[in-house]
Structure 1
Amino acid sequence: MVVLVGLLAGTVLLAWQLRQVRGALTEFAAGNYSTRLPRSGLLAITVNGLGDRLVELHDFQRSFVADASHQLRNPLVALQLRLENLEPHVVPEGHGKMESALREANRMSLILNALMTMARGEGRVDARQPVDIAAVLEDRMASWRPIAAVAGVDLLIKPCTGLWATALPAAVDQILDVFIDNALRVSPVGSTIVLFAESSLHQVRLFCRDEGPGMNPADAARACERYWRGTQRRDTNGAGLGLSIAAGLARASDGWLALNPAPGGGTDAVLVLRTAQSIVDDREV
């Protein structure tokens, strides 16, 4: 009887410890790395050590993004000033291209600010702004269409007026740039990349659909990891950071990314964000 009671007590204790471990790992998966197990012992020490390591890696990543953004800011400001100083010397036929270059430089400045905001952990509701999705799609298509034409790929958008989402400033622009850049890398000559958006009651979904070879499930699951290059990539350019940064900007904007098989082949790169109205509803509650 004593042995039976001891075994029962040990089983109850083990089940309780496993529940604690599962709870801690669930918190880690959700991004809460401060959770720790209260008891001593090898299991608690191991889980708590994992939490400490996750905090260390998270802080390193934030510091890297903040430092890189800060170091890029001064050269970018110098570039903007030089472009502005060149403007009086540009022939009339080149004014359109000069204005386009200035717009891109200003957009890069907004992107750096968004990265620094993300690194500081300020991806809160008060840091997000309403975004006109149709305007962003038109702007990015205008910037990328000449590049796509050189690659022999057509870039199209479907009309989607009246869609407003919330995100960090310039975050949607940068995420779409990553989507389009990746799509161009895998799109065969003569194919088409389509940008479009859909909405539901509380969400806006932006799509970048290519006609490339598609991704296997293993690559799609790991594509947003830092430095992940994939097993199907044919090119050797890039550092494997684009989708990782895009995923971070999406999370800081209270959204997420998905890479799904496109109908008929290819890949649907999807950005999901909250609608601007859903943020207003939350604030009024």
Structure 2
Amino acid sequence: MRRRLIAVFLVPLVAILVLLGGAAAWSATRSTQQAFYTQQLGDLGYFVTSARQALRADSASVIEAEVRRFGEVYGIDVVVFDLSGAVWAAGRDEAGSLLDDQASRVGLALSGRRAEPPVPVLPWSVTHSTVVEPVFDDGDVIGAVMVSADVEAPRTQILQQILLLSAVAVLSIVGGVLLVFRLAGWVLAPVRRLDEAMVAIERGEMDTRVAEDTGPPELRRMTRVFNGMADEIERVMTRQQEFAVNASHELRNPLNALLLRVENLATGLGREWQHDVEETREEGRRMTRILETLLGLARGGRPDTTVGTVDLTALAARRVEAWRDVAAQRGISVTLRGRSSAVTGVTDRTIVESALDAVIDNAVKYSPADSLIEVEATRDGAVCLLVVRDQGPGLAQDELASATGRFWRSDEVADKPGSGLGLAIATDLLEVIGGSVSVESPEGGGLAVSLVLPDEAAA
């Protein structure tokens, strides 16, 4: 926006200065040329009068001395021609050799034509300026006078004026550029403050506001709307954080009581129940970790991640085992592929477990009875993958990009219960550790959802 605003101000300014400078330079050039031509006409008029008297008296000595002295003093050549076109008096000895243009002008003057005003020319295109005037006596042409002067002096004057005007134009453009930059900064200052406030809110500084008494009226209204929006966002987020804090805190007590009851019950059970008791303990500890993560997220906006080396194959095996009984109630089998190859990664165990649970829950929810859900931990170059493959209805290619959006559900499963949050929750969780969720429709139907743990979180 700043560049466009500067261009809008600067381009017309430069164009106007260039046009005005060009017009001024052309006017100064024409003025200098006209003054030089007027001076030549004055000299020509004086010598036409003197030449008339000398030609009538048939005595060239007086005017010849005069034109010779004039040439020595002013450097201007004056030549008087008789009616035959021969040189009658001249200020220099080599005046007999005329240029083609000069000879043509002399011929026209002897035929009775008066000198015409010179056409405008560029100062460096000619070196001499010549004017020729006929000499009349009682209406008859008796000769002609030619005045030829070097144009170096007026040309130097014109070039000096052009250089002066160019310097003024350049200084004006530089001043205009500085003015335009200052003006653009002043105009965009309120917009910049709004942008800085939005960036601060994005960083989590929810109390950031913009003063409403600065800037033009249109931006003041925008500032008021922005501050109102920021107030509403802060209020909503505060309520969400309070709810999450209260919920996670209140859930601790019943969870601890439940784990205590499990320990009490375990003392009266036989050894054949030891495996089930241990699984229950692990699920309890996992619930505790999830509550701690939720509490950290509510307090600081981001959970306190605990990164360490994790055996993703073993993690997937535990989650498959935890979901096996739930899936079996619907006639669905959950199995782990690739048990023999261990895949380790540096990541947050709790986040990965929670994301994998969300994806498996989504697969169980939409898979038909007597189908199979396969979970596999693999490595693909610098990333680790946890892939959940089901045999459900799948998604069309144009729906895959929307699958991770909040509350989005395919029309094919609109009649089934659900909120459309499973994959969105998994996506949000993995973004905390720099991961992502990839959704594909493989050959053979169903859906393949991959939890991607990038290089920063994979060893």
More displaced 10-residue stretch of structure 1: 213-222 or 169-178: 213-222
What one-letter code is carried by the residue in structure 2 that aligns with 1:118?
L
Q: Residue in 1 aligned with 2:291?
A: 112
Q: Is the 8 A contact 1:131 1:166 kept in 2?
A: yes
Deviations 1:149-174 (A, max 9, x none): 3322222222251321312x422112
Displacement after TM superposition at 1:183 (Å) = 0.4
Displacement after TM superposition at 1:242 (Å) = 4.2
Displacement after TM superposition at 1:51 (Å) = 4.4
What one-letter code is carried by the residue in structure 2 that aligns with 1:273?
L
Change (3 A) 1:44 1:199: farther
Q: Residue in 2 aligned with 1:194?
A: 374
Q: Is the 8 A contact 1:257 1:272 kept in 2?
A: yes
Q: Residue in 1 aligned with 2:347?
A: 166
State yes or no: 1:82 paired with 2:290.
no
What one-letter code is carried by the residue in structure 2 that aligns with 1:81?
L
Q: Residue in 2 aligned with 1:260?
A: 440
What one-letter code is carried by the residue in structure 2 that aligns with 1:161?
A
What one-letter code is carried by the residue in structure 2 that aligns with 1:86?
L
How do 1:28-47 residues align onto structure 2 when only pairs under 5 Å count? 31-32=202-203, 34=205, 40-47=219-226
Q: Residue in 2 aligned with 1:61?
A: 240
State yes or no: 1:221 paired with 2:402.
yes
Q: Is the 8 A contact 1:186 1:212 kept in 2?
A: yes
Q: Residue in 1 aligned with 2:452?
A: 272
More displaced 10-residue stretch of structure 1: 250-259 or 98-107: 250-259
More displaced 10-residue stretch of structure 1: 142-151 or 107-116: 142-151
Percent identity (aligned): 30
More displaced 10-residue stretch of structure 1: 144-153 or 213-222: 213-222
Change (3 A) 1:162 1:180: closer
Deviations 1:119-165 (A, max 9, x none): 23374786433322111101111111232233222222222513213
Whole-Å separation in 1 of the counterparts to 2:324 and 2:342: 20
Whole-Å separation in 2 of the counterparts to 1:81 and 1:198: 37
- Give the aligned CA root-mean-square deviation in angstroms: 4.0
Change (3 A) 1:178 1:164: same
Q: Is the 8 A contact 2:332 2:364 kept in 1?
A: yes
Secondary structure of the corresponding residue to residue 300 of structure 2: coil
What one-letter code is carried by the residue in structure 1 that aligns with 2:392?
G
So what's the TM-score if we normalise by structure 2? Answer: 0.49
So what's the TM-score if we normalise by structure 1? Answer: 0.74
How do 1:174-253 residues align onto structure 2 when only pairs under 5 Å count? 174-215=354-395, 217=398, 221=402, 223-225=404-406, 231-234=411-414, 237-238=417-418, 240-253=420-433
Which of 313, 329, 334 aligns to 1:134? It is 313
In the alignment, structure 2 segments of 5+ residues that lack a partner are 12-179
Displacement after TM superposition at 1:31 (Å) = 4.8
More displaced 10-residue stretch of structure 1: 80-89 or 147-156: 147-156
Specify the structure having the higher radius of gyration (Cα).
2
Whole-Å separation in 2 of the counterparts to 1:221 and 1:280: 27
Number of aligned residue pairs: 270
What one-letter code is carried by the residue in structure 2 that aligns with 1:233?
V
Displacement after TM superposition at 1:75 (Å) = 0.4
Deviations 1:41-63 (A, max 9, x none): 33444455444444444443333
Whole-Å separation in 2 of the counterparts to 1:231 and 1:67: 36
What one-letter code is carried by the residue in structure 1 that aligns with 2:413?
R
